[in-house]
């Protein structure tokens, strides 16, 4: 969207300033369902915001919840070689309408249960990409 502002300047008739305004509208969360209409994958959980996309596979070893205990704040993923990595779960969806927030929350809690093997799409952010945030989850 472009916005044009007109402003009178001393000694000039008028000046035009064109400002590009980007509407930062996040894509809606997408669900993929399997047999019995159960959710088997979730994507578009968070916007990219200049982070580097990557993939991880492993087993969910531990789950952490936020201070209220209502929303997942992160998981510990155990890789095939036995190493463990902490991955953030952004609760941006919590600010959505109640129905959408409940659906995403339920899907994440189901897909990210302890012991389940998952394929994660993550964004590596921060210095040297050491802060990992989940943007998609698929059960394997």
CATH code of residue 50: 2.40.50.140
Considering the domain boundaries, does residue 41 fall inside one? yes
Considering the domain boundaries, does residue 15 fall inside one? no
Q: Could you tell me the pLDDT band of residue 128, with boundaries at 50, 70 and 90?
A: confident
Considering the domain boundaries, does residue 18 fall inside one? no
* C-alpha distance from residue 64 to each of 39, 61, 124 (Å): 21, 10, 19
Considering the domain boundaries, does residue 6 fall inside one? no
Considering the domain boundaries, does residue 7 fall inside one? no
Average pLDDT over residues 53-65: 97
The chain-wide mean pLDDT, for the chain, equals 82
Hey, CA dihedral for 101, 31, 139, 130, is it positive or negative?
A: negative
Considering the domain boundaries, does residue 22 fall inside one? no
Query: What pTM was estimated for this model as a whole?
Result: 0.76
Considering the domain boundaries, does residue 5 fall inside one? no
Q: How many domains, in total, are found in the chain? A: 1
- Residue 119 sits in which domain range? 27-139
Considering the domain boundaries, does residue 43 fall inside one? yes
Q: Could you tell me the pLDDT band of residue 26, with boundaries at 50, 70 and 90?
A: low
Rounded to whole angstroms, the Cα distance separating 115 from 62 reads: 8
Q: Does the pLDDT value for residue 5 go beyond 60? A: no
Average pLDDT over residues 75-104: 90
């Amino acid at each position: 969207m472009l916005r044009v502002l007109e402003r009178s300047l001393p000694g000039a008739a008028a000046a035009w300033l064109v400002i590009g305004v980007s509407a930062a509208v996040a894509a809606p969360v997408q669900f993929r369902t399997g047999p019995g209409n159960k959710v088997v994958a979730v994507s578009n959980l968070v916007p990219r915001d200049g982070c580097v996309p990557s993939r991880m596979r492993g087993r969910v070893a531990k789950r952490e919840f936020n201070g209220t205990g209502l929303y997942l704040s992160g998981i510990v993923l155990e890789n095939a070689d036995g190493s463990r990595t902490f991955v953030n779960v952004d609760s941006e969806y919590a600010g959505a309408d109640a129905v959408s927030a409940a659906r995403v929350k339920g899907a994440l809690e189901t897909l990210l249960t302890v012991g389940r093997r998952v394929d994660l799409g993550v964004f590596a952010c921060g210095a040297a990409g050491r802060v990992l945030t989940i943007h998609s989850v698929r059960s394997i």
